[in-house]
Amino acid sequence: MECINKTSITEFILLGLPNQLEMQILLFVIFCIIYTITLLGNSLIIMIIRVDPRLHTPMYFFLSNLSFLDICYSSSIVPKMLNNFLSNERTISFPSCITQMYIANSLGGTECFLLAIMSFDRYVAICNPLRYTVIMNKKVCIQVAAGSWICGFLDSFVHTIFVLKLPFRGPNVINHFLCEVPAVLNLACADISMNKIVIFACAIVVVLIPFLLILISYVHIISTVLKIRSAEGRHKAFSTCASHLIVVTFSYGTIIFMYMRPRSSHSQDQDKMATLFYSVITPLLNPMIYSLRNQEVKGALRKAAERHRSIKKS
């Protein structure tokens, strides 16, 4: 990037989504509704898991972590986006931009690790059910969940340190609705080849390795389930994995679309739409997927609704 100023820039301008005034107002309403439903849906999942003793199992412990992560992920992006829809000045200070980039990237990495742990949990439950409570005990669940969060934030810390080492004295317009690492790097006034190497190396650790663990887990799960003689048993085993598989497909499908397709086919609009899907739409869909396809969650919701009605009547 060619430097045009001698002093470092202090703020960026986020171009965001389409600029027509009528479209901005419509988008504000749509994303305000999406954000509200995301907060309510994921909060409800966390509350139901907490109050219903039948859901005090490793699978739902990890699901509550995922719901909390989705709340944080959406909250790190959508409020600023909503503000920009109604503002003519779409500026974000340099420290705020770096903070948003660090938090959003941390939560994205944490989700990759959490989804891998959730697949391992299903592998142990189906392939080694007699030792499930021993292997996935409370201490282990807390440790691996904490490890996911720590690894996600450490990964983002590495990216952030390398970004902060770069000078930013050129253009300050980011063609995006958030401060994402590649979008910010494009404005650096220096060689970013080392940053690209770091992104690639971290992607192997944060994306590829967890994805391979998910694939290996499901190869063993499918192999075990196919050996079950009764159709009812097979259906029950598969049903416990269906919601997780759908979430994995959405999350990793978008990541593969973003980073695995040829560079010649990249466009900024496509990248923005892909980022929009996994950072805003996926947190909205996750609670719906787990509640609509999970009989235990639906049962807990019905029980909570009945309890609420009985309290209201009395």
Q: What is the pLDDT of residues 185-222, one digit of tens each?
A: 888 888 888 988 888 888 888 888 999 999 999 999 88
Which residues sit opposite 12 in a β-bridge? 92
For residue 274, name the pLDDT band (cuts at 50, 70, 90): confident
pLDDT at 270: 74
Tokens standing for residue 61: 């412990």
For residue 183, name the pLDDT band (cuts at 50, 70, 90): confident
pLDDT at 2: 56
Phi, psi of 247, deg, nearest 5: -65, -45
Is the model more confident about 55 or about 267? 55
For residue 58, name the pLDDT band (cuts at 50, 70, 90): very high
For residue 20, name the pLDDT band (cuts at 50, 70, 90): low
List of domains in the chain: 11-313 (1.20.1070.10)
The string of pLDDT tens digits covering residues 278-309 is 888 889 888 888 776 666 776 776 776 666 56
pLDDT score of 310 more than 70: no
Q: How many residues does the chain have?
A: 314
Are the beta carbons of 196 and 218 closer than 8 angstroms? no
Averaged pLDDT, 89-111: 92
For residue 145, name the pLDDT band (cuts at 50, 70, 90): very high
pLDDT at 10: 84
